């Protein structure tokens, strides 16, 4: 089987090789999955660079999430799983950038055969995170407002869609006009450009309303400016630091207005949540993808052999959507 392998930490196209490896023996509770699709996420590149919360031993398989079909099963695996489409959870015990993957059955959730495998391949990380961010920190009611940074990211698109389903309004911050247009098309209720007058622009956009929750993927000043528009006692959840800067939130806002600051990492939830909760949430997200309520924009898909081009495109700013590997795809396909 062909597998992308990480041989050291560093720049993705310099430290990842496409190798043919022999099929490992299946453990009793393992399955062999013939992969259909796997996305590239910012966290994969943090993992590759040695900047993630999990460090691999080299050589390591790579790629956190994806979907495929069960081709072979271990002796203790339910035979009903044979041939089924499964979502591979981002546990980092297996790498999904490979045409075949061996994974323990505990890391899989069955998915519908009828749904687009590209969209299903992306629900392991971002939609689950979006769902938990919206449901864990404040009890949001229809008509409440939330604010978010990097709103044109795939995460932003999922947050807007899930908020809409709950009747919650979104105030979205992006850093370029093209991205603002995209977020408006996705149904973001207000869109504001990240700039020197962010607090004033946010206040104008909210027109007297206050935020209940701020979700931040950027760090630095924007999250602090958004936090100024939170209700007293509101929550800020930081789930990424795209700018590399510490979230600049005024201690006065935290102390005198009783705001609370939280950090979220999906992997902690996957490690600690009861199995029934994990299955329930992924099934719910799979159903929302199936009925078209939940999706992420896709810019381009690549076959595994074109991984260097896929990385180049995935790592550039100003994308219109995600970059994915599609297995069995012979040609690259534009989705822009």
Ligand X SMILES: NC(=O)c1ccc[n+]([C@@H]2O[C@H](COP(=O)([O-])OP(=O)(O)OC[C@H]3O[C@@H](n4cnc5c(N)ncnc54)[C@H](OP(=O)(O)O)[C@@H]3O)[C@@H](O)[C@H]2O)c1
Residues of this chain that interact with ligand X (CB under 6 A) are 41-43, 125-126, 129, 150, 152-155, 175-176, 179, 217-218, 239-240, 242-243, 264-266, 317-318, 322
As measured in angstroms, the least distance from the Cβ of 270 to ligand X is 9
Task: In whole angstroms, give the CA distance from residue 99 to residue 68.
Answer: 9
Residue (69 or 149) nearer to ligand X, CB: 149
Task: In whole angstroms, give the CA distance from residue 307 to residue 313.
Answer: 10
CA–CA distances in Å: residue 100 to residues 82, 107, 267, 305, 327: 15, 15, 23, 14, 9
Task: In whole angstroms, give the CA distance from residue 181 to residue 175.
Answer: 11
Residue (276 or 318) nearer to ligand X, CB: 318
CA–CA distances in Å: residue 141 to residues 137, 185, 264, 270: 13, 24, 21, 26
Sheet holding 2-6, edge to edge: 16-20, 2-6, 60-61
Residue (132 or 290) nearer to ligand X, CB: 132
As measured in angstroms, the least distance from the Cβ of 248 to ligand X is 13
Task: In whole angstroms, give the CA distance from residue 272 to residue 75.
Answer: 27
Q: How many CB atoms lie within 10 A of CB 133?
A: 23
Residue (108 or 155) nearer to ligand X, CB: 155
As measured in angstroms, the least distance from the Cβ of 21 to ligand X is 28
Task: In whole angstroms, give the CA distance from residue 258 to residue 143.
Answer: 22
As measured in angstroms, the least distance from the Cβ of 185 to ligand X is 14
Q: How many CB atoms lie within 10 A of CB 122?
A: 28
Residue (42 or 74) nearer to ligand X, CB: 42
As measured in angstroms, the least distance from the Cβ of 247 to ligand X is 12
Residue (153 or 285) nearer to ligand X, CB: 153
Contact 47, 8 (CB under 8 A): no
As measured in angstroms, the least distance from the Cβ of 33 to ligand X is 22
- Listed residue (15, 8, 22) closest to 308, CA to CA: 15
Tokens of residue 200, six digits:
């004033």
φ, ψ of residue 298 to 5 degrees: the values are -115, 125
Q: What is the CA radius of gyration of the chain?
A: 20
As measured in angstroms, the least distance from the Cβ of 219 to ligand X is 8
As measured in angstroms, the least distance from the Cβ of 143 to ligand X is 26
Residue (41 or 60) nearer to ligand X, CB: 41
Residue (120 or 153) nearer to ligand X, CB: 153
């Amino acid at each position: 089987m062909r597998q992308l392998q990480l041989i050291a930490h560093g720049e993705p196209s310099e430290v990842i090789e496409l190798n043919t490896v022999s099929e490992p023996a299946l453990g009793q509770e393992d399955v062999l999955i013939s992969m259909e699709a796997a996305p590239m996420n910012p966290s994969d590149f943090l993992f590759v660079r040695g900047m993630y919360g999990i460090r691999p031993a080299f050589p390591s398989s790579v790629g956190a999430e994806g979907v495929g079909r069960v081709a072979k099963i271990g002796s203790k695996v339910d035979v009903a799983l044979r041939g089924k489409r499964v979502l591979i959870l981002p546990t980092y015990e297996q790498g999904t950038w490979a045409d075949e993957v061996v994974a323990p059955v505990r890391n899989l959730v069955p998915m519908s055969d009828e749904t687009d495998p590209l969209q299903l391949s992306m629900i392991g990380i971002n939609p689950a995170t979006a769902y938990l961010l919206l449901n864990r920190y404040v009890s949001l009611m229809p008509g409440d407002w939330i604010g978010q940074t990097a709103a044109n990211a795939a995460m932003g698109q999922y947050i807007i869609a899930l908020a809409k389903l709950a009747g919650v309004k979104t105030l979205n911050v992006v850093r370029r006009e093209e991205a603002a247009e995209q977020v408006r098309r996705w149904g973001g209720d207000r869109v504001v450009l990240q700039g020197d007058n962010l607090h004033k622009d946010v206040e104008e956009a909210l027109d007297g309303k206050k935020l209940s929750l701020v979700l931040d993927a950027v760090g630095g000043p924007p999250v602090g400016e958004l936090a100024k528009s939170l209700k007293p006692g509101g929550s800020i959840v930081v789930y990424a630091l795209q700018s590399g800067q510490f979230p600049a939130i005024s201690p006065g806002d935290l102390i005198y207005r009783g705001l609370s600051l939280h950090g979220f990492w999906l992997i902690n939830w996957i490690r600690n949540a009861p199995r029934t909760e994990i299955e329930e949430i992924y099934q719910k997200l799979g159903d929302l993808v199936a009925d078209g309520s939940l999706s992420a924009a896709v810019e381009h898909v690549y076959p595994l052999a074109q991984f260097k081009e896929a990385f180049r495109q995935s790592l550039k700013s100003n994308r219109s959507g995600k970059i994915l590997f599609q297995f069995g795809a012979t040609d690259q396909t534009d989705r822009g």
